[in-house]
Structure 1
Amino acid sequence: MPEPTQRERRPLRGGDLAAIVLALAVAGAIAYFWVQRRPAAPATPPAVPEQSAPAATPSTAPPSAAVQADPAQVKTLLEAASADPEYRRWLGAGGDLVRLWAVLTDNLAEGVSPRKQLPFLVPEQPFSVTEQGGRRVIASASYARYDRFGDAVASIDAKAMAAAYRALRPAVETAYRLLGYPDAVLDRVTARALHRLESAPHPGGPVEVVPHAEPGAGWAYADPALEHLGAVEKHLVRLGPRNASKVQAKAREIREALGLREPR
């Protein structure tokens, strides 16, 4: 069955929520490779607190060499972060991983689904519901679709990812600014992205769903408080308590390892 959705902004699929953790791992390995190959790496810009998110302004600057790396070397380095088979499968997707990290960070910080950037993380099994006490609720089998994902996220070493983040901060910040945020500070955006994952609500008990008001749009949460959540928070609910807790715990571990404060 189709996932619960909104017309303008569809909820994240479960694999999408590996975004920030996977991106930190990916970019960190790139950083190591880049620093080893480029001894004259740009100095890390000083951390200047941002008072608000910068307006999106189109950038005409050329891509920086700092955001490029050999995918084969990146994959080799990343394999050291976790031996989990699912995590290793993610590494085979390839692409411009520094830019991917920047895009995923932006998506999560703003509560926007990055599903287009992560098609390889979409669950194979369909969303499903079951009858319980005269109500239709999310089936346990639907939550179980994300068990491998949750285990893979939990397998990543937060301290290793924090070290990788620090090593590649200049490159990823460059990539992020080229998205249209010329004065952005990566630490600020990363803290917002991780905090969004950490602070998502945990509904108590079975989660009731109803047919969406729009034909063909699938299901919606029966509780208005859940239905009005952002895309990131909605799909954390869809992961189920087991997997959502693992994602949130890892986001918290990484933020604390980075020494980033919770956004006000």
Structure 2
Amino acid sequence: MNRTILAIVVVLVVLGALYFWQQPPPQTLTPAPEPARSIQEAEPPAPEYPVPEPSSALDAGDGGGMEPPPGAAPAPGPEPAPPLPALGESDPLAAQALQTVFTAGDALGLFNIDGFIRRLVVTVDNLPRTRLPLKQLAVQTAPERFLVRAGAGEDEYFIRPENYRRYIPHVRLLESLDTATFAGLYIRYYPLFQAAYEELGYPDAYFNDRLVEVIDHLLATPEVSDPIRLARPHVLYQYADPELEALSAGQKTLIRIGPDNARRVKVKLREIRARLTRLEIE
């Protein structure tokens, strides 16, 4: 052992001795058991925006707490809803729900129904991130090609206004969403959304909280007016403004669909958010 290594060993031994010398003398008493609060602290946090359970909510409203007169037959209660299918068998249920909550356009034609609930949860969770998993999106991409026009400068491009028309079917479909019907079905099917969210690796979190968080993130998207300048350093276009390019995938999508479409989407998102934060059985 050379002198350098020997010096390091001596220093570590001295520091270790000093650490133990500075500690109080060891106690011979039996240590007390851990307080019960340590178990409570390990419990997952309560949801910020809880989703009511349909069965309990319906039972709570049974007759307003008044007892029927003596000899009178009890009023028939609501029939219990059929049990939910397993997450992997929920596509027919999802297709039926989509046709119920959207009142305009071909809803099924704009969505990827195969594994829809899982796709929807993955899409929502990734909107605030830098990239979207294109193979797992719940919505079909817009038809036709992305339209741009060249600018006067080198590597200068702008989004062509007619490009925004590609997204009109998606915007109209969102505007046709019946939020009252949506809230009822969302409560009914929420266990499936929660199960899909836990599959992503969030066993102690709540999908409804994440959904509200993502909507708030999208509502914070800056308003950008035409012309929107692009650059093309490689194969794909990107925003020439570094601040816009640094936005999340969801926020950049809102800008790409055009100012008017983005405003219409935000109006509907605020309406949906109001429902999600005060969910109740109607």
The answer to whether the 8 Å contact 2:128/2:250 transfers is no
Change (3 A) 1:109 1:177: farther
5+ unaligned residues in a row in structure 1: which ranges?
A: 1-34, 42-64
Q: 1:188 maps to which residue?
A: 209
Give the superposition deviation at 1:88. Answer: 3.6
* CA–CA distance in structure 1, aligned partners of residues 175 and 88 of structure 2: 28
Q: Compute the TM-score of the two structures, normalised by the length of structure 2.
A: 0.62
**Aligned partners of 2:248 and 2:139: how far apart in 1?**
23
Residue 145 of structure 1 aligns to a residue whose secondary structure is helix
Q: Deviations over 1:100-158 (max 9, x none)?
A: 23222222254541421238612221112225676631101211111111111111112
Identity %: 28
CA deviation vs aligned residue, 1:172-231 (integer Å, no higher than 9, x gap) = 11221121111112222111121122111111331111222xx32x22212121111111
One-letter amino acid of the counterpart of residue 165, structure 2:
A
SS in 1 for 2:261: helix
Between stretches 103-112 and 232-241, larger displacement belongs to: 103-112
Gaps (5+ residues) in structure 2? 1-79
SS at match of 2:268: helix
If asked which structure has higher relative contact order (CA below 8 Å, sep 6+), I would say 1
CA contact (8 A) 1:109 1:190 kept: no
Between 122-131 and 66-75, report the one with greater CA deviation: 66-75
Structure 2 equivalent of residue 85 of structure 1: 105
Q: Contact conserved, 2:148 with 2:160, CA < 8 A, in 1?
A: yes
Q: Secondary structure at the match of 1:174?
A: helix
Q: Does structure 2 conserve the Cα–Cα contact (< 8 Å) formed by 1:109 and 1:193?
A: yes
Letter of the aligned partner of 2:117 in structure 1?
V
- Give 1:73 deviation, angstroms: 4.5
User: With structure 1 as the length reference, what TM-score do the two structures score?
Assistant: 0.66
Matches within 5 A, 1:59-138: 66-69=86-89, 71-90=91-110, 93-110=112-129, 112-118=131-137, 121-131=140-150, 136-138=157-159
Off by >6 Å, runs of 4+ in structure 1: none
1:204-223 equivalent positions in 2, closer than 5 A: 204-212=225-233, 215-216=234-235, 218-223=236-241
Task: Return the index of the structure with the highest Cα Rg.
Answer: 2
8 Å CA contact 2:231–2:238 kept in 1: the answer is: yes
2-structure distance, mates of 1:108, 1:136: 25
State how many pairs are aligned.
Answer: 197
Q: Distance in 2 between matches of 1:151 and 1:77?
A: 18
Are 1:199 and 2:220 counterparts?
yes
User: How far 1:239 moved relative to its partner?
Assistant: 0.4
Provide closer, same or farther for how the CA distance between residues 90 and 126 of structure 1 changes in structure 2, counting only shifts above 3 A: closer
Q: Note the 1:1-264 alignment, pairs <5 A.
A: 36-38=81-83, 66-69=86-89, 71-90=91-110, 93-110=112-129, 112-118=131-137, 121-131=140-150, 136-212=157-233, 215-216=234-235, 218-259=236-277
- Secondary structure of the residue aligned to 1:121 is coil
Q: Distance in 2 between matches of 1:87 and 1:203?
A: 29
Asked if structure 2 preserves the Cα contact closer than 8 Å seen for 1:110 and 1:193, the reply is no
